[in-house]
């Protein structure tokens, strides 16, 4: 209620709607139930020409821990971690493309990297994890920002209305 009062105080036109209105709009257009399509069908709605076939999903992935040691179950240090988070200019969570020219892992692999002090990285792709990719084959596409991104299909009915 306080938010509504603050918004009306701005003098801009404000409209409110109920969950029942959203459901009625969704039923009227024949859209399946999902959070994305509910956001599209909120409030006063004349028509929906089409809805998205896929949505971008952002998941929290973190930026790594501050601790530079691993502990046993009693809390005593058992091994030391590297003192830096970047290895050869890459950090865990960066989006990279690796072009491996030959060998068992030959090909192009695009995904999220997990760095190792040795310079032999793991790359998690949509098809799985490829281990032991040398740092000299890896090129940075995007710095890790603490989130993992992927596209997810919205519904089985991808056709416009």
For the chain, which residues make up each domain, given as ranges? Answer: 2-59, 62-145
pLDDT higher than 60, residue 157: no
Express each pLDDT in 57-112 by its tens digit: 899 988 888 888 999 999 999 988 888 889 999 999 999 999 999 999 999 999 99
pLDDT value at 160 more than 60 = no
DSSP the chain: -HHHHHHHTTTS------HHHHHHHHHHHTPPP-HHHHHHT-SS-S------SEEEEEEE-----S--EEE-TTS-EEEEPPS-SEETTEETT-EEEEEE-SSTT-EEEEEEEE--TTSEEEEEETTEEEEEEEGGGEEEEE---SEEEEEEE--S--S--
What CATH architecture applies to the domain 62-145? Answer: Roll (2.30)
Question: Does the structure show a pLDDT above 70 at 158?
Answer: no
Query: What integer best gives the mean pLDDT of the chain?
Result: 89
């Amino acid at each position: 209620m306080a938010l509504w009062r603050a918004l009306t105080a701005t003098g801009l036109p404000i409209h409110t709607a109920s969950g029942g209105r959203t459901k009625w709009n969704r039923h009227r257009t024949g859209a399946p139930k999902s959070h994305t399509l509910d956001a599209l069908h909120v409030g006063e709605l004349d028509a929906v020409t089409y809805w998205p076939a896929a949505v971008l999903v952002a998941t929290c992935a973190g930026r790594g821990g501050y601790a530079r040691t691993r502990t046993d179950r009693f809390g005593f240090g058992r091994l030391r971690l590297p003192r830096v988070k970047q290895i050869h200019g890459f950090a865990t969570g960066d989006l990279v493309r690796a072009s491996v020219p030959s060998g068992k892992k030959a090909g192009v692999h695009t995904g999220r990297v997990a760095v190792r002090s040795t310079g032999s990285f793991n790359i998690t792709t949509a098809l799985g994890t490829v281990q032991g990719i040398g740092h000299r084959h890896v090129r940075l596409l995007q710095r890790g920002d603490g989130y993992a991104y992927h596209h997810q299909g919205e519904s089985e009915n991808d056709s416009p209305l």
